Amino acid sequence: MNICVFASGNGSNFRAIIGAKRSGFLSSDICLLITNNSGCGAVGIAKQYGIDVYHISRYIFKDIDEDEYSGLFISKLKEYKIDLIVLAGYMKKIDTGVIHEYSRRIINIHPAILPSFGGSGMYGINVHKAVLNSGVKVTGLTVHFVDDNYDKGEIILQKFLDVHDDDNEDSLQKRVLSMEHKYYSEVIKEIETGKIKIGNNFS
Ligand code: GRF
């Protein structure tokens, strides 16, 4: 498969996926990084490993309509013959045109057990704060397909983690993130082997 990663931040999941490829665990090519933030850590990682970067944001393309904006993503994804889009800390909503063109070909990782602690405002450290404030004793990660309903696409994998009495949001984030690094590549591997079906390949 040809993979495109979308990221806006540190890019530690992006780095972990590259590591999984370099160790031979994954066979797909990680061809392209799409980002809205040209100064983010993920861009530095892409440069380090010679992965092409496409920087696109509404700040650059202010005057085009939604279809044209989606079209820019789609033509870049087609140019690289992308089979799977992996969202790894991408802070923008994916445009509807892209979601429909790549139906069941976009996956996201969320640092909590959806459908709890998802939706608007639930990103980064906010998620872990909300988990602690709620008093739940278990958190974890969710990998899901991306569809029109934000954070509500079909769930592919969930992994659980106990919340400790002495956890704070930073410790929780660190422990969840290290699980993410392991399991996101495992999901991609299962897509490669066909155990998880993507696109129209359901039978
Ligand atoms: C991760 O916690 C991921 O679950 C969420 O955004 C964060 C990205 O972290 N969607 P990183 O940029 O991969 O370090």
From the CA of 164, how far away is ligand 1's center (Å)? Answer: 21
> Is 197 part of any domain?
no
Catalytic residues: 110
Instruction: Give the closest residue to 38 by CA, choosing from 30, 27, 47, 50.
Output: 47
CATH code assigned at 163: 3.40.50.170
pLDDT at 56: 97
> Is 201 part of any domain?
no
> Is 63 part of any domain?
yes
From the CA of 139, how far away is ligand 1's center (Å)? Answer: 15
pLDDT at 201: 55
> Is 151 part of any domain?
yes
Closest-CA residue, ligand 1 atom 5, reads 89
> Is 87 part of any domain?
yes
10 Å CB burial of residue 131 (0-12, 13-18, 19+) is: buried
pLDDT at 71: 97
From the CA of 17, how far away is ligand 1's center (Å)? Answer: 12
CB of 2 within 8 A of CB of 28?
yes
pLDDT at 23: 98
pLDDT at 150: 87
pLDDT at 140: 98
Query: Ligand 1, residues 114, 180, 182, 187: which to mutate, most atoms within 8 A of Cβ?
Result: 180
Domain span at residue 71?
Answer: 2-192
- Tell me the C-alpha distance between 88 and 172, whole Å: 18
> Is 60 part of any domain?
yes
> Is 127 part of any domain?
yes
> Is 198 part of any domain?
no
Rounded to the nearest integer, the mean pLDDT of the chain is: 96
Spans of the chain, pLDDT less than 70: 201-203
pLDDT at 182: 98
Q: How many structural domains does the chain have?
A: 1
pLDDT at 133: 97
